[in-house]
Structure 1
Amino acid sequence: MAATHDNDAACPFSRQARSFDPFGVAYQSDPAEALRFSREDEPVFYSEAMGYWVVSRYDDIKAVFRDNITFSPANALEKITPATPEAVAVLKREGYGMDRTLVNEDEPVHMARRRALLDAFAPDALAEHAPMVRDLVREKLDAIIERGHSDLVEDMLWDVPLTVALTFLGVPDDDMTTLRSFSVAHTVNTWGKPTPDQQVAVAEGVAKFWNYSGDVLARMSAQVDAGKDVHGWMYDMIRQNRVMPDIVTDNYLQSMMMAIIVAAHETTALASANAFRELLTHRHQWDAICRDPALIPAAVEECLRHSGSMVAWRRIATRDAAVGGVTIPEGGRILMVMASGNRDPRHFENPDALDIWRDNSADHLTFGYGAHQCMGKNIGRMEMAIIIEEVSRRLPHLQLAEQELTYLPNISLRGPEALRVTWDPAKNPERQDPSLRHTGRNFPVGAPDRKSIVRRLRVAEAAPLAQNILGITLADPAGERLPSWSPGAHVDIVMPDGESRKYSLCGPADAGEWQIAVLRDDLGRGGSRWMHENAGTGATLPVRGPHNHFRLEEDAAHHVLIAGGIGITPILAMADRLKALGKPYALHYAGRNRARMAHLDRVEAEHADAVELHLSDDGTRSDLEKIVADAPAGSFIAACGPARLLDQLDALMSRRPDLRLRFEHFSSDDSAAELATGQAFDVECTDSDLSLHVPQDRSLLQVLRGAGLDVPSDCEEGLCGSCEVVVEEGQIEHRDRVLTAVERAAGDRIITCCSRGRERLKIKI
């Protein structure tokens, strides 16, 4: 448990933790900021004020989501504020009977129901709804575009998701005003803190919502039983009810009717309002998506990470269980604050900043994780992307109006109740080009392709660093500061043919500009030659990243840094960081001769006490065997350089299990297409409870994504490791250049873009 605080020896948690109140001003104003103290010092604590165990860090939240047996979702829809007798009487009088839905159902019933109802949420099936969504958005935008001002929530963001939800369900959409009040009542009833008087009014609304759902369901059921050709998710469920009434029960149908209207409607409406608030506040990012709509899916994902509408979710422990080093007792109620996990610097760099070019935004926890991950995540993504694309194309000059934003007090859902914007109709682009109303672009359904997330940066300076090595400083053309980065990070420069080349960042991490070094290789694929000939001062380059798959383990007892040639670029950044931290390290820098070694002057000037140079022309080659043998126990070895150096190190590490090696390759001997094919195999996904088949002509990564699972990836050539997943059972055919020999021998992880299973794998996703 955490250390004792505030001189209170009776409890291991601080006074701030024990008194934490999700209905307090701090949490209601900014949930992530309110739990900064927890992310930093007390990642799991007991709140006496609310009677819940609060979990605030990314990995711990994901671990709770992953284990839905130990951590039951049974209390996910439990009222956070106990109902008054008067409110209970209202619900009883009206026959309110909402029970289990996909959200709060335990296994094995949950997955049996989920499998029966999942097909409609597959990306290909959802794509069919895109034209309907776009037509709705255009209709709403047409009504206000010449007005010059709007409350986007009232005029568009509330009604569009509601209509989409009703259409998707197959439900009549005649009574939106009533449904809006029903949806809010359900939110306040479940996650809010209404006063005793408000509880009675809320109960009346919830009961009406329940009975309305029942009436609509009865009419829809009659159509199914009459054999009419009707379509929609609720009709599919009704048909499943007729086939498997013990799984898709009558009560379950009505409960899901009510729950999914809220889940598909309010979450998307509030998330869209949050996205417009953030993008219009960070004007240069709004302008960027107006110039390059291909960035919109990435912007959606980053807004969901930074300011998602689902703030927190709940579980209950079915046994004593350790989370983050703290034992939560059986029966303990848990509040997982995803908004806090989404700001965890252990997983996201510069987590408090909105950065639509962030490479791993899709790792966010806003949709949950595992078997209970939101089924409607992709329809929500699709709606948000279409709404932002339509508005940014037709109203790029949109501005936030001066206003005091208000939020409905509750623990789980967050978004402004109103969002007022203004614009000058005289500047509407379609006055000059009416075709803009009809030129919207379609995006693939699902998480964004990282390769589409591209910045266009200016070469602020290009100058020789050593023989055949060009130093390049990249800057934002608009003068904005580029994000800071961590040692080991790299960027991808996109070549004219669409292929990319990876270059490690090597300058000061927080300078607001990025520095790379490019070694010219005339026998290579042509990228370095193109950079030397075209990336001069003033040039504009398309850049992806930063990405970091070569992280420095700062907490190791000792560090050994090994650089071969141009491999000094990430290693120098690591040395700079370790020196700043006052950590012990040794730096080995090998090259043919001094004239060919980039940053040599800086290495010798700033790391003189730690560096040992190894020059081939002087006969002082590095003795890797001795370096490994002499490394203190517990050392972290980071290496970057030629493949032969890395392979030799990898082989030597088998003699020193007390050391940890991490290295980085930037090239592969095989094409991505060749790596993605091979012997067919089956895979069982334990977190999501899915069984899939990987055919000969597809990679495991492609199959997982086709099943609607969000798996991050970057290079898709087996070089970066971003698509790694944990393997519980089965033999692996390793094809990557990421895992060490020791890690491959352990057989507990696979790089999904290229490696394959032998017959069958069981993986955790």
Structure 2
Amino acid sequence: MALSPTGCPVSPEAAEFDPFDAPYQLDPAEALRWFREQEPVFYSPKLDYWVVSRYEDVKAVFRDNVTFSPSIALEKLTPAPPEATKILEGYGFAMRRTMVNEDEPDHMERRRLLMDAFLPENLEKHEAWVRELVRDYMDRFIDKGRADLVGEMFREIPMTVALRFLGVPNEDAKELRKFSVAHTLNTWGRPSPEQQLQIAEDVGQFWKTAQTILDRMCADPSGEGWMYDSIRMHNRHPDIVPESYLRSMMMAILVAAHETTAFATTNAFRTLLSNRESWNDICENPALIPSAIEECLRVAGSVVAWRRIATEDTLVGGKKIPKGGKLLIVQASANRDPRHFENPDEFDIYRHNSAEHFTFGYGAHQCMGKNIARMEMRIILDEFVRRLPHIDLVEDQSFEYLPNTSFRGPTSLWVEWEPKQNPERRHHAVLENPTLFHIGAPIKEDIVRRVVVAEVKREAEAVIRVGLVDPHGRELPDWTPGSHIELVSAEWRRYYSLCGTRDDRNRLSIAILREPQGRGGSVHFHDTVKPGDILHIAGPKNHFHLDETATRYTLIAGGIGITPIIAMADRLKALGKPYVLHYCGAGRRTMAFLERVERDHSAALTLHAGDEGDRLDLPSALSSLAEGEQVYACGPERLLEALGSLAEKWPEGTLHVEHFTARSNILDPESEHAFEVVLADSDLTLQVGNHQTLLEALTAAGVDVPSDCCEGLCGTCEVAVTDGSIDHRDLVLSRTERDANDRMMACCSRAAGKRLTLAL
């Protein structure tokens, strides 16, 4: 039996793992499915790497770029034979440190100096010419009826954009295009000794051509483009931006900007055209393009895996990694981890957290060009859904991939269409008023799904149940107990728990309590929603997960709080788990789903109708909690506060609650103070004004922090705090968690003092 470098036995599955075998090359996430579940961190003898496959473990490695050095990111995976090395030496090949593979503090010193061109506000000027470029390429084949999109444009446009962004003249582009693919195979592939010789020739030619161009730019550094910016920074700060860095980056950034975006665009089109309903949805509503792109990057990203080396003995996912241990961190696998993404194998352009994928990496080394790639892909897709919405994949075509561990995309993508159906032949205004996209991560308010109101039924006094279906009769997403959707109508957006039956994938059901003294949303929905109406929803999302491993459960619902609780009771009954259900209300007439609760859960049910004098005595009902028992509750704030007081004596993690509404989260600048926030992982310092939230300040600086409710209810925007005192204003963290002072909700909580340090 094979042993790992730590002396532990290697499992038969790990011993057989080879990333150059067909399963990984065809679908790396699927190839690692068993490992995600059974052995999330394992040593591969064939690769001599530790392979990391789960979301949280991949994130932990990316975050700590001191313990896990990026220095081997561009190291050749397959050692070169002496003959290949000699060929490269003949071309003067001298690839050194770049933004990708350098350690701290050098990395962040250089990154700060060279980051300006990548900021969203500085990318806006490129949008118009990128769109013109896309249109020019489409004009060349739009009347043909058949095209290989890779050969016709997807390979060409990212290279052209990259060269212009760098400031490289068009006349030099042809030579660079010829050789860029060789660098991918040379670094991340397993070429034969004979192939290595030709690859070495191509890489050498690539290097020589890039250096010749750079020499010309250095001779006259007055031009416009990122390489000119870098040359000028070299002249001002030669100790931070040395000449060797310029020479290495000239080659590395072309590969990064060209290959990854070309592959990502190809993968996205193949994915969308294979999911025709999603393609039709974005044709109907191009505002969905940003979220569709993020979902494509999640399920079929072009960057499959990256590499790190441990600088000391450490742990990853509980597995011992020795100093010098090399890690293959597989983003493609993390992007399909069910612990982070619900229904991860389903392609869903309405997924609320798609942008949390790792295709762009994470932390200090997150891809600087992520927003250039997003911009290109969005514009290309927008032009296609306008001009060629009727394209189809050519049937029975085969897809070939460059054999390597880290980058993935087919070498061709054939599509066909009927030119006579081209919209611009009938409507000359097709090219007018293109969709304008915000530069950066998708705007969450735009990620909404159209639904039809199938039913509105009164469930109790002041409570209606609303049934929602897809306009085209399609299945709606699966959901888990505790899930909610955000219902959108006109200017109203409100959260409602799902309370239907999970075995009906064609319908989502919510219940709405009319609250005349509320903020107006419930009254609007009560007064206006009727069968046949078109509404929009975001989700489903779940911030109130049911832990199915507990030994026993107490469920407590107060009033409309029955909506998530009834779904939990249904699930526990199906699992055969022991549970009790306390359902409280002012009176039976006000208690929604009462008939269903009594019918399906009578053996576990205790009703507490206030007008019958039967009020819930919480201390008595919870006096004999068994070891391992969990309590789930949803209801009025006074009920949850009483439970919170009781839970102070219980083991941590016993109580789980969901709040109806947040406390007042309106920011009053006159009563707030500004503070400084240090992003330790990114080596950045930001100022948070008294007029803005921490989340707003992070977003404005281009730091992607996921968020949802923005009211301190859901926990989505949680960030880790390593130093500084926190003014907690959320309804997510328990008292013990607040006292730990190591995390906060960026949407509402603030610094208690003048400074916070975050692990971002």
Tell me which interval the TM-score lies in, with the shorter structure as reference length.
over 0.9
297-306 or 122-131, which deviates more: 122-131
1:282 deviates by 0.6
- 1:662 touches 1:740 (CA, 8 Å); kept in 2? no
Q: 2:460 aligns with which of 441, 453, 466?
A: 466
Partner Cα separation in structure 1 for residue 717 and residue 554 of structure 2: 27
Match of 2:158 in 1: 161
Match of 2:578 in 1: 584
SS of 1:107's equivalent in the other structure is coil
Distance 1:582 1:84, change over 3 A: farther
Given residue 725 of structure 1, which amino acid in structure 2 is its aligned partner?
V
1:214 deviates by 0.9
Partner Cα separation in structure 2 for residue 592 and residue 749 of structure 1: 38
Match of 1:364 in 2: 357
Given residue 60 of structure 2, which amino acid in structure 1 is its aligned partner?
A
1:186-585 correspondence to structure 2 within 5 Å: 186-224=183-221, 228=222, 230-402=223-395, 403-496=397-490, 498-512=491-505, 513-585=507-579
Given residue 25 of structure 1, which amino acid in structure 2 is its aligned partner?
A
Partner Cα separation in structure 1 for residue 670 and residue 735 of structure 2: 21
TM-score, L = length of structure 2: 0.96
SS of 1:351's equivalent in the other structure is coil
Given residue 85 of structure 1, which amino acid in structure 2 is its aligned partner?
P
- 2:392 touches 2:416 (CA, 8 Å); kept in 1? yes
Per-residue displacement from partner, 1:504-542 (whole Å, max 9, x unpaired)? Answer: 011223421211111222332332233233322222211
Partner Cα separation in structure 1 for residue 621 and residue 265 of structure 2: 54
- 2:294 touches 2:355 (CA, 8 Å); kept in 1? yes
SS of 1:144's equivalent in the other structure is coil
Match of 2:78 in 1: 81
Query: Unaligned regions of 5+ residues in structure 2, if any?
Result: none
Partner Cα separation in structure 1 for residue 573 and residue 171 of structure 2: 66
Query: Unaligned regions of 5+ residues in structure 1, if any?
Result: none
Partner Cα separation in structure 1 for residue 421 and residue 296 of structure 2: 27
- 2:711 touches 2:748 (CA, 8 Å); kept in 1? yes
Kindly indicate whether residue 38 of structure 2 is the aligned counterpart of residue 41 of structure 1: yes
Partner Cα separation in structure 1 for residue 146 and residue 499 of structure 2: 47
Distance 1:142 1:288, change over 3 A: same
Given residue 30 of structure 1, which amino acid in structure 2 is its aligned partner?
D
Match of 1:639 in 2: 633
Partner Cα separation in structure 1 for residue 551 and residue 724 of structure 2: 34
Match of 1:714 in 2: 708
Match of 1:654 in 2: 648
Given residue 177 of structure 2, which amino acid in structure 1 is its aligned partner?
R
Given residue 745 of structure 2, which amino acid in structure 1 is its aligned partner?
I
Match of 2:755 in 1: 760
1:631 deviates by 2.3
SS of 1:655's equivalent in the other structure is coil
1:688 deviates by 1.7
115-124 or 12-21, which deviates more: 12-21
Given residue 142 of structure 2, which amino acid in structure 1 is its aligned partner?
I
SS of 2:471's equivalent in the other structure is coil
- 2:305 touches 2:407 (CA, 8 Å); kept in 1? yes
Given residue 504 of structure 1, which amino acid in structure 2 is its aligned partner?
S
323-332 or 674-683, which deviates more: 674-683
Given residue 17 of structure 1, which amino acid in structure 2 is its aligned partner?
A
SS of 2:400's equivalent in the other structure is coil
- 2:163 touches 2:173 (CA, 8 Å); kept in 1? no
Match of 2:740 in 1: 746
- Residue-pair matches, total: 754
Per-residue displacement from partner, 1:309-358 (whole Å, max 9, x unpaired)? Answer: 00001111111111111111111111111100000000001101110000
1:12 deviates by 4.2
Given residue 266 of structure 2, which amino acid in structure 1 is its aligned partner?
A
Distance 1:659 1:635, change over 3 A: farther
- 1:717 touches 1:754 (CA, 8 Å); kept in 2? yes
Partner Cα separation in structure 2 for residue 586 and residue 685 of structure 1: 46
Q: 1:107 aligns with which of 94, 99, 104?
A: 104
Partner Cα separation in structure 1 for residue 447 and residue 472 of structure 2: 18
Partner Cα separation in structure 2 for residue 115 and residue 661 of structure 1: 44
TM-score, L = length of structure 1: 0.96
79-88 or 582-591, which deviates more: 582-591
Per-residue displacement from partner, 1:424-443 (whole Å, max 9, x unpaired)? Answer: 11111122221211321111
SS of 1:203's equivalent in the other structure is helix
Partner Cα separation in structure 1 for residue 602 and residue 36 of structure 2: 37
Partner Cα separation in structure 1 for residue 227 and residue 484 of structure 2: 47
- 1:495 touches 1:527 (CA, 8 Å); kept in 2? no
Match of 1:665 in 2: 659
Per-residue displacement from partner, 1:73-130 (whole Å, max 9, x unpaired)? Answer: 1111111111111111111121110011111101111111111111111111112211
Given residue 109 of structure 2, which amino acid in structure 1 is its aligned partner?
A
SS of 2:657's equivalent in the other structure is strand
598-607 or 349-358, which deviates more: 598-607
Q: 1:29 aligns with which of 20, 26, 30?
A: 26
Per-residue displacement from partner, 1:701-748 (whole Å, max 9, x unpaired)? Answer: 111112221111112122222111111111112222322333222222
Given residue 529 of structure 1, which amino acid in structure 2 is its aligned partner?
V
Partner Cα separation in structure 2 for residue 292 and residue 146 of structure 1: 25
1:695 deviates by 1.2
